A and B are shown apart, each in its own frame.
Chain A
Amino acid sequence: MSAIRIENLSKIYRAAWGRRDTFAVKALSLEVKQGEVFGLLGPNGAGKTSTIHLLLNLIRPTTGAAFLFDRPVTETEVHRRLGYLPESVNLHTYYKGRALLNFYAALCGVPVSQRESRISAVLKLLELEDAADKQVAKYSKGMAQRIGVAQALLHDPDLLILDEPTASLDPVARHQFRGLLLELKGRGKTILISSHILSEVEAVCHRVAILESGALKRVGTLQELSAGGSTRLVVKETSGTLMEALAATAAEVTWFQGQVTIRCQDETVRRSVEALLREHKVEIARVESEAQSLDEIFFSTIKGDPAT
């Protein structure tokens, strides 16, 4: 059973008066397995939050369908297994922290007998015990974010949907949150996390999907995504004519202590270099794959430059 299944999902915002329609999500198909930590990446306007809103049935798809635990997202009961943290945590400010959590626990159907212990546990986990009896209106942004996380964890859900969870947290709280995510990952929870902080996603996610302009560009594990990246071919014998021929390709050639390292940026370059080596009857001593960081994968996928 998959925790999240998205089938050919599209969301188009129709514009009036002859203006162009906005495609928030374009024919998106995805599957997140149970127990998987899945990262949703993309620049602003890529469709991450729209996808999450579609999963929560806050907006209606133009085409396609979404399922949580193989049940349509329109079924309210499936939300018993779901914890959600929105991008900007807007809370009912007229409650005190503990009372707010009590309200959400009651809505989630946490039995009265267990409510107090659950609330105390999440308050302790998120280091909010001192703020529990404080009016939510007086919470700092970071505290509001933490109480937002607390309400998402309150009923011990099987699936967590976190939209930019660390956006308002300071570096210390961000580090603690990463620890919490790893703990939840260890407990087999399914987590869908949308984030701009690539290092965070890289550290916790099993798989990632990269969205751009509402469309899915790439999906897979980091290893899968980095396959097809740069490769280094190491040769020990060389000649002047081979060096000249290599210099004419797009490969980067370095010579050090009688060993030539040829860096091929992609498969096409690698194939042409291998053909040259065969032509000159030079044996390849070693092939090294250069693992790409998520940053490199991300920027190469969205065809952007970190500097821009």
Chain B
Amino acid sequence: MKTILLIAADGVRALIHQRLLVGLMLASLAVTVAFSVFLSNARTHASVSLSGDRVASGAPQSNEPMSESDQRRLREQTQGMSSMFQAAFYVVTSFGGSMVALFIFSTAVAAEIRSGTIRLTLSKPVSRTQFLLGKYLGGAAIMVAYALIASLAIFVFSKSQGLDLSPAIKWAPWLMFCQQLMLGSLALLLSLFVHPIIACVLAFFAGNGFYSPPNPLYFILPSYSDFGMFSEVLQGAQVDWKDVVFLSLYAFDFVAIMLLLSMWRFRTKELL
């Protein structure tokens, strides 16, 4: 276990020195900030437009309290904006996270093979299984950090805008993380057969969104779409914790199978 942790720590160190990865994360953050600014402006515009409506309808402009219907309208509009803001935030961070995961896991082992650094590492008492698991763990640690930053950001932005958190948003980062682990494990496996870029494309489009039961491909291909929380966040719907547990188990089962297949492939791979 100590060896796996050492390889994982080295993996994290390697990843935080990757300019492309840092660029992807910064781009994802920048898009998120841009969305929040846009939605904040839209919300202000909605309030102003509501005030304008009130003036047009002859309502007094003084400090008199709003009527109950105006208050309800403003609340509905604000809640709608809040859900839209959170859903948009979720989509951006989820997509950005998927890109980061694809990059991290598809290059984790392949880049070491290409650069030749793997030869020195494997000349030490490190088995190929330990190396592979360490690399996966290092990538997963980066994805944990990403999910935590995303959760914190969505909380801070929502609170700063005075918005209520959608009930589904509390599960969204976790499910996003599970989905990215699945995506990453498939990208890692494929990168042991093909070029990392091809592995990324195949892993991204391998989801079973095109198939439905009883098509056997539905049961073989990963179900990324089931982890998507966009509509739940947008509609402010509740998410059953049992569904979250089921999806988590499915994700870990899928990751375990992908890792086993990766180990099988990696054990016999020629490291030229």
Contacts and interface: CB of A to CB of B under 8 A. Distances in A.
Contacts of A161: 123
A248 B194 CA distance: 67
Given A92-B14, A92-B117, A94-B14, A56 B125 contact: no
B164 interface: no
Contacts of A180: none
A79 B125 contact: yes
Contact of A56 (B10, B13, B117, B119): B119
Contact of B271 (A59, A82, A151): A59
Contacts of B124: 79, 104, 107-108
A287 interface: no
A94 B6 contact: no
A285 interface: no
A174 interface: no
Interface string A99-140: 000011011110000000000000000000000000000000
Contacts of A77: 125
A107 B117 contact: no
Interface string B135-168: 0000000000000000000000000000000000
B68 interface: no
B122 to A, nearest CB: 7
Interface in B106-123: 115-117, 119-123
A76 B126 contact: yes
Contacts of B6: 103, 106-107
A88 B116 CA distance: 8
A58 interface: yes
Given A58-B271, A59-B270, A59-B272, A108 B120 contact: no
Given A59-B271, A106-B6, A107-B3, A91 B120 contact: yes
Given A60-B270, A103-B10, A106-B6, A91 B125 contact: no
Interface residues of B, number: 23
A106 B6 CA distance: 8
A90 B270 contact: no
Of the candidates B120, B122, B271, B272, the one having the most CB atoms from chain A within 10 angstroms of its own CB is B120
B44 interface: no
Contacts of B126: 76, 79, 107
B17 interface: yes
B7 to A, nearest CB: 8
Contacts of B130: 76
A84 interface: yes
Given A77-B125, A107-B3, A90 B10 contact: no
Contacts of A92: 10, 13-14, 117
B123 A76 contact: no
Interface in A51-79: 53, 56-60, 76-77, 79
Contacts of B120: 84, 86, 89-91, 104, 148, 151
A185 interface: no
Contacts of B125: 76-77, 79-80, 107-109
A161 to B, nearest CB: 8
Contact of B122 (A56, A91, A148): A56
Among B119, B270, B272, the one with the most A-chain Cβ atoms within 10 Å of its Cβ is B119
A8 to B, nearest CB: 20
B143 to A, nearest CB: 20
B120 to A, nearest CB: 7
Contacts of A94: 13-14, 17
Among all A-B residue pairs, the 3 with the closest Cβ atoms: A84-B123, A90-B116, A94-B17
Given A104-B124, A148-B120, 12 more contacts: A59-B271, A60-B270, A76-B126, A79-B126, A84-B119, A84-B120, A86-B119, A88-B116, A92-B10, A106-B6, A107-B124, A109-B125
Interface of B: 3, 6, 10, 13-14, 17, 115-117, 119-127, 130, 268, 270-272
Interface of A: 53, 56-60, 76-77, 79-80, 82-84, 86, 88-92, 94-95, 103-104, 106-109, 148, 151, 161
10 contacts: A53-B271, A56-B119, A56-B122, A90-B117, A95-B13, A103-B10, A104-B124, A107-B124, A107-B126, A108-B124
